[in-house]
Structure 1
Amino acid sequence: MSSETLGTEVAPALPALELAILSRQGGRNYNEDACGHWNSDTHLCCVVADGAGGHGGGDIASKLAVRHIIEQFAAAPLSQPEEVTDLLLDTNATVIRHRADGEAQAHMHTTVVSLFIDMNRGLALWGHAGDSRLYVFRDGQMLAHTRDHSVVQSLVEAGVLRPEEMRTHPRRSELLSALGSAPEDLHVTAASRPWHIHDGDVFLLCTDGLWEYVDEVEMSASLNRAADPRAWLAVLEELVLKHAREQAKHTHDNFSAITVWCGRGH
């Protein structure tokens, strides 16, 4: 099944913000990723999710997460980090509740990463579960990215593994948390405080199928050469496919991304 995208690729009502979406099947038989966005005159919400669970359950879980987060934000935009955490916990409960809908969904779960922008105040919040990531770039350089809830991330934080080894470690795909987990096992992380957006800031939300094949140096270099958000995602797609071919990974993962450009001073 194809991924779900909610809304158009570019948000024309937001002249100060430009947005583009990418979602590809990769080397898999179907796409379990989902991504979407919603905006009003004052707020923007973007969500990317990477489902798993087999027998079609993964793509159901990822769509559920995207829809629930967007619907809840549209009804009541968030303004504090703890509200992001609460929304992710509520989304987890929604995924668990829908596991009872059918046998194919009994073991479904999904990563998620979400971005929330208050355009009037020039502030951004974000939150995630699993190893889908949010990156922040300023002046063409990466300033920060979320930390995965994964085995290899815990090895890096323990000093056992170097960050550059995460992408090739044999346990790279093992998650410590994802939506669909029992509440006592769930880990979600929200930005500790609102991010003050500068003209030219760029956000990238993506699944591991993208960042596994494109490192941060390549992300920054290609961003600095790109004319607009669509062009940048097109280059990132080419890099994923190129590196997957070089590694002879014909079954490389689905890969999806949303990028938001704030002004044109990137």
Structure 2
Amino acid sequence: MYYCCGVTDKGVMPHNEDAMLINGSVMDSGSSEQMLKEPFLAAVSDGVSGERSGELASKMCLELLRDKGFTGGGDLEEKLLSVHHGLADYSESDPETHNMQATICGIAVDGEKRIFTFNVGDSRLYRYRGGRIKQISRDQSLVQLLIDEGAITTEERRTHVHRNIIFPVLGNVKSEPTIDIAELEGGMEYGDLLLLCTDGLSDYVSVLDMEEILEMPKNLKTRLHLLMDKALGNGSKDNITVIAVAYGE
């Protein structure tokens, strides 16, 4: 069994362009707690800033993925490309939603307890194990490319002038996205947490702060709210969504 808890909030913004998917539930406000049996999906999505109807894009992105159904990892790329084309087709049919786009980052657990990770954009997946947190996903962004090339440091990411430039994501009418899919190396052990979040959290909460909060002797929902409070206290001006998946609780 898996225990899954998620929270999504507009933060200081007037509306929420984030959404979250936990099994069959797609939400763009509030929180959810569920005990899950495999197979299941969990994912976060962020409407791309500067594009039209970001709040519709993120929610529709996750609804389309949910409605495709999930039984195994073999056709995940095909399903995500179908979501991409569904968003692009919808946006081209209505001038009000033209070129609406969304990131996605999630996990898919199949009937054999294999865990597949998927990512498009700069939302993130972390694994918390033994008091330490490790980023599993790789940001599809210009600043990540600059970090990989050694042009800037990780510490310079948050304040870099091009920090909001990401590569083509789901729904982009001009370019196909690159979909990163992999089986999670090392899987999950008893006591592990997988943490999915949008950049409203990851850009404002350090790895050390994440570790400090996640090791607190509090229930998981409380710890997620503390992570959100930390992001807001550190000046987050974005929507915030975070999901935690625990194995064996």
TM over 0.5: yes
| CA–CA distance in structure 2, aligned partners of residues 177 and 220 of structure 1 | 31
Query: Structure 2 unaligned runs (5+)?
Result: 25-35
| Per-residue CA distance 1:39-77 (angstroms, 9 max, x = gap) | 66431211210013658611111111111111213xx41
SS state at 1:160 partner: coil
Residue 163 (structure 1) aligned with residue 154 (structure 2): yes
1:154 Cα deviation after fit: 0.5
Q: 2:59 aligns with which of 52, 58, 63?
A: 63
| Per-residue CA distance 1:113-171 (angstroms, 9 max, x = gap) | 121113x5332111011101111111121233211111101101111111222122121
Moved over 4 A (4+): 53-56, 182-185, 192-195
SS state at 2:234 partner: helix
| CA–CA distance in structure 2, aligned partners of residues 200 and 157 of structure 1 | 32
Query: Structure 1 unaligned runs (5+)?
Result: 1-15
Residue 50 (structure 1) aligned with residue 46 (structure 2): yes
Contact 1:92 1:180 in 2 (8 A): yes
SS state at 1:34 partner: strand
Amino acid at match of 2:87: V
1:22 Cα deviation after fit: 1.1
- Structure 2 equivalent of residue 111 of structure 1: 103
Residue correspondences, number: 238
- Structure 1 equivalent of residue 92 of structure 2: 100
Q: 2:72 aligns with which of 62, 78, 98?
A: 78
SS state at 1:48 partner: strand
Taking structure 1 as the reference length, the TM-score comes to 0.82
Q: Percent identity?
A: 26
Taking structure 2 as the reference length, the TM-score comes to 0.88
Root mean square deviation, CA, Å:
2.1
1:261 Cα deviation after fit: 1.1
Residue 126 (structure 1) aligned with residue 120 (structure 2): no
| CA–CA distance in structure 1, aligned partners of residues 63 and 208 of structure 2 | 32
Amino acid at match of 1:114: G
Contact 1:53 1:105 in 2 (8 A): no
SS state at 1:30 partner: coil
Greater helix content: 1
Distance 1:139 1:55, change over 3 A: closer
Within 5 Å, give how 1:186-225 maps onto structure 2: 186-191=177-182, 195-225=186-216
SS state at 2:117 partner: strand
- Structure 2 equivalent of residue 243 of structure 1: 234
Amino acid at match of 1:220: E
Contact 1:54 1:108 in 2 (8 A): no
| CA–CA distance in structure 1, aligned partners of residues 152 and 42 of structure 2 | 32
Q: 2:21 aligns with which of 17, 36, 39?
A: 36
| CA–CA distance in structure 2, aligned partners of residues 99 and 155 of structure 1 | 31
- Structure 2 equivalent of residue 90 of structure 1: 82
| CA–CA distance in structure 1, aligned partners of residues 141 and 83 of structure 2 | 20
Q: 1:231 aligns with which of 190, 203, 222?
A: 222
Contact 2:51 2:101 in 1 (8 A): no
Contact 1:134 1:145 in 2 (8 A): yes
